[in-house]
Structure 1
Amino acid sequence: MSAPRSLTIVGIAALLWNLMGDASFVAQYSMDTAELAKTDPYTARIFAQMPTWAWAAFAVSVVTGTLGSILLLMRRAAAVALYLISLIAIIMTFGHSFFGTDMLAIKGWTATLFPALIFVLGIAQFLYARAQVTKGVLR
């Protein structure tokens, strides 16, 4: 079956989105928390105290999202599994941020807006890839 035009458009958009996630991970993981503390001491403290498993979940979420997007563009059904792993890792990452810290008390519910967008886009990527498998586009 030939791939719908939407596959290329969605695949490229998803790849660019996930590459931004990769860049965000690298920037946050390698940032100088002492320097960040000068402008945002609370966030610097949260990053400094973030457990290894949460950093690992963050890394897994962005890497598997990127690989899922590449496989989507290559029309491979394995994209579905990678997007699912990414989604689970997103839940773990933000679960820690919101339930393992006092972030909501300090920053308020507006701190959930961008993470909610990330979660919704993670679901959308998974559902889109799964639909393409069902249609026989991904193999």
Structure 2
Amino acid sequence: MAYGAQKPPAWYYIVAVLLTVWDAIGCYFCYMQFKLGAEAMGPATAYDRALYASMPGWYNVCYALAVGGATLGGICLLVRSAWAKPVFLVSLVAIVVQFGYLFATTDIIAHKGFAMVVPFPAFIVAVAVFALWFAGFAKRKGWIT
């Protein structure tokens, strides 16, 4: 366990716990998608089933890397390890690849509509960018080493 030279404020731990819980929830949904496929988010349409079936195998690996990496990054924050930043970076890259592939190579936006498809992935990217920034901020403050 690594400890920084500076003791972080209480709110640091609140943020670290919230990020870790958020990412652990992502791991749960990843597991459910592996287990249930297109039905993971409830009853799937024929379009959803065909879309999921058309995804390459690496897409699920990318999903697991995104949420697993982010969860590990949150744990790194909790134990005050500077590994948080590179792990969050790997997670963010996996998220961008995952959603970039989905939006660039499928007709999901045309089929379901921008407002139905894009906001939640955009929120996920925003949280990942925040986590990466927060790890860098914590490193600069000496809270993680």
TM-score (norm 2): 0.90
Distance (Å, rounded) in 1 between the aligned partners of 2:19 and 2:52: 26
Contact 2:33 2:40 in 1 (8 A): no
Q: Unpaired segments of 5 or more residues in structure 1?
A: none
TM-score (norm 1): 0.93
Structure 1 equivalent of residue 88 of structure 2 = 83
Contact 1:68 1:78 in 2 (8 A): yes
Matched, 1:134 2:130: no
Structure 2 CA distance for partners of 1:113 and 1:11, relative to 1, 3 Å: same
Q: Alignment identity in percent?
A: 30
Aligned length: 139
| CA RMSD across the alignment | 1.9
Structure 1 equivalent of residue 51 of structure 2 = 46
Structure 2 CA distance for partners of 1:32 and 1:52, relative to 1, 3 Å: closer
Of the structure 1 ranges 59-68 and 32-41, higher mean CA displacement relative to structure 2 is found in 32-41
Distance (Å, rounded) in 1 between the aligned partners of 2:96 and 2:111: 21
Higher RCO (CA-CA < 8 Å; seq separation 6+):
2
Structure 1 equivalent of residue 118 of structure 2 = 112
Structure 2 equivalent of residue 123 of structure 1 = 129
**Aligned-pair CA distance for 1:89:** 0.2
